[in-house]
Structure 1
Amino acid sequence: METLTPEPGKSSPPLDHHHHSKHDGAALKDSTEAEVTKISLMRALVESRDPSSKEVDDLMIRRFLRARDLDVDKASTMFLKYLKWKHSFVPNCSVSPSEISDDLAQEKMYVQGVDKKGRPITVAFAAKHFQNKNGLDAFKRYVVFALEKLCSRMPAGEEKFLAIADIKGWGYANSDLRGYLGALTILQDYHPERLGKLFIVHAPYMFMKVWKLIYPFIDDNTKKKIVFVETKKLKSTLLEEIDESQLPEIYGGQLALVPIQDS
């Protein structure tokens, strides 16, 4: 992997030199000293390679650093790859519902409430997902749309969401390995450090065969956040993270689910 270094004549900006006020206070307040230094180093480096990096706040830089254990070179490579992907795959900066009408019509993702840490909660129903007849890119756009919606619901200072993947009723007709891996790539490579926790509920035996194929592609940071929930302990497990007033009705809580496009 090439080592990234700023162009000659460009030195790292001093630590108090920041381009944005958007979130910097929050980023620097919760950051370790090492992170503050590395945010600054990484910013100088990526801005020398891609000037559009200037638009990005320190919280985003920090998420990429954390995803690569504060290795500035690796995080910068990952971040520049993300920018390139975003410019080509999401040229209008966001995905419009008209581009993904088939996926939205399946009503397979819902959002409502927040967990005890203030993270927005999303529920995805695997049995409502079928391989997209418009091809893999349409489904990937749907995933981008859903992640944008979730991020827009995060309160100030919160960067993560909690997800419940409900596999009830899933069968081979729903099995879309390329779609699942595409979604995983978008989450891990382009929205790092966004997933706070993933509860997998009602997973049938058949699904575990597909899970074994996906598991090797999940990075170690993400693996730590995934919990398979026993059906008989479903409500009690979810209540550890989510107050009853914020828990979906279908799991014994008090909130009705809202389709993600209406959230």
Structure 2
Amino acid sequence: MAIPLRHFNFTCPVFSTQPIKIRKLLATRNCAFPPNDAQKLVIEVKEKLEKEYNSLPAGKNGRDDEELILWFLKDRKFSVEEAVSKLTKAIRWYHEFGVSELSEESVRSVAESGKSYVHDYLDVYDRPVLIVEVSKHFPGKQDFSEDEQLCVFLVEKAISKLPAGKEQILGIIDLRGFGTENADLRFLTFLFDVFYYYYPRRLGEVLFVDAPFIFQPVWQLVKPMLKSYASLVRFCSADVAREEYFTYETVPANLRK
């Protein structure tokens, strides 16, 4: 079964006079503002956050993080009010969740299960790859907060591997060996909520690999919760994932024949 994909096309003129951080992130679909106007909007949002939400933390992922502000402006089609609204929620979450405190060491115990990791290589579209092997996930036996922390740490890690000019990552959910004991609607919903609210438009595509028949009821339950993000999902075989998204040298170990 193949679900049509909706790809975001972030393209607009970029001029070399723009500061590097702003210029790097300015490519956006239906871009209605030249770079100078975008910079003015970033300053407007920053000043509005300073004036109306002074209690929000500053610094990376804070109310004065211009790179973050521009990304949310792009997500909200350069609406200052909408960007501020979404940013305030995101900034609170980043700091309450402790995103900046996550590390390889802090997630080591749950990461050792091998159920989720960032692939060493990019896919053929130069996207970092976040892989989940669902058969290794046992929600009844594992701490949900640790799974959340691993998820966010890996999203951050994948984004940090983005090449210059690239903005989105590929998710691969390997469903081979999936059983009812692996089903976890709560975590799947959390995963997509993280991308929608806190890392908008970072997820370019999600491959559901070799979904067994018993996964269909799970998908029917979770699909309405994902809303527009459901259109990013493609059901495919391991062969398709291997041959269409990787080279022989870069294919993930779990997809090798």
- Normalization by structure 1: what TM-score? 0.75
- Output the CA distance in 2 between the equivalents of 1:161 and 1:198: 9
* Aligned residue type for 2:113: Q
Among 232, 240, 243, the alignment partner of 1:239 is 243
1:119 lines up with 2:127 in the alignment = yes
1:188 lines up with 2:208 in the alignment = no
Distance 1:244 1:183, change over 3 A: same
Contact 1:64 1:193 (8 Å CA) reproduced: no
Among 22, 25, 45, the alignment partner of 2:23 is 25
1:109 lines up with 2:108 in the alignment = no
**Aligned match of 2:252:** 248
- Output the CA distance in 1 between the equivalents of 2:241 and 2:105: 37
**Aligned match of 2:44:** 44
Among 210, 217, 223, the alignment partner of 1:209 is 217
Deviation at 1:187, TM superposition (A): 1.8
Deviation at 1:43, TM superposition (A): 4.2
Please give the root-mean-square deviation of Cα atoms over the aligned residues, in Å: 2.8
**Aligned match of 1:170:** 178
- Normalization by structure 2: what TM-score? 0.76
2:33 is paired with a residue whose SS is: helix
The runs of 5 or more residues in structure 2 that have no matched partner are 1-16
Contact 2:124 2:246 (8 Å CA) reproduced: yes
Distance 1:175 1:61, change over 3 A: same
Deviation at 1:124, TM superposition (A): 1.2
- Output the CA distance in 1 between the equivalents of 2:147 and 2:218: 19
* Aligned residue type for 1:197: E
Distance 1:72 1:55, change over 3 A: closer
1:115 is paired with a residue whose SS is: coil
The runs of 5 or more residues in structure 1 that have no matched partner are 1-16, 254-263
User: C-alpha deviations, 1:159-205, integer Å up to 9, x for none?
Assistant: 21112110111111111221221222112211111111111111111
**Aligned match of 1:226:** 233
2:219 is paired with a residue whose SS is: helix
Deviation at 1:133, TM superposition (A): 5.1
- Output the CA distance in 2 between the equivalents of 1:56 and 1:211: 37
Contact 1:170 1:204 (8 Å CA) reproduced: yes
* Aligned residue type for 1:242: F
1:181 is paired with a residue whose SS is: helix
Contact 1:127 1:170 (8 Å CA) reproduced: yes
Q: Percent identity?
A: 25
**Aligned match of 1:74:** 82
Distance 1:226 1:185, change over 3 A: same
1:218 is paired with a residue whose SS is: helix
Superposed structure 1 runs of 4+ greater than 6 Å apart: none
Among 145, 149, 162, the alignment partner of 1:141 is 149
* Aligned residue type for 1:87: H
Distance 1:22 1:55, change over 3 A: farther
**Aligned match of 1:256:** none
User: C-alpha deviations, 1:57-87, integer Å up to 9, x for none?
Assistant: 43x3343234334443223211110001111
- Output the CA distance in 1 between the equivalents of 2:38 and 2:22: 14
Distance 1:107 1:118, change over 3 A: same
Contact 1:168 1:203 (8 Å CA) reproduced: yes
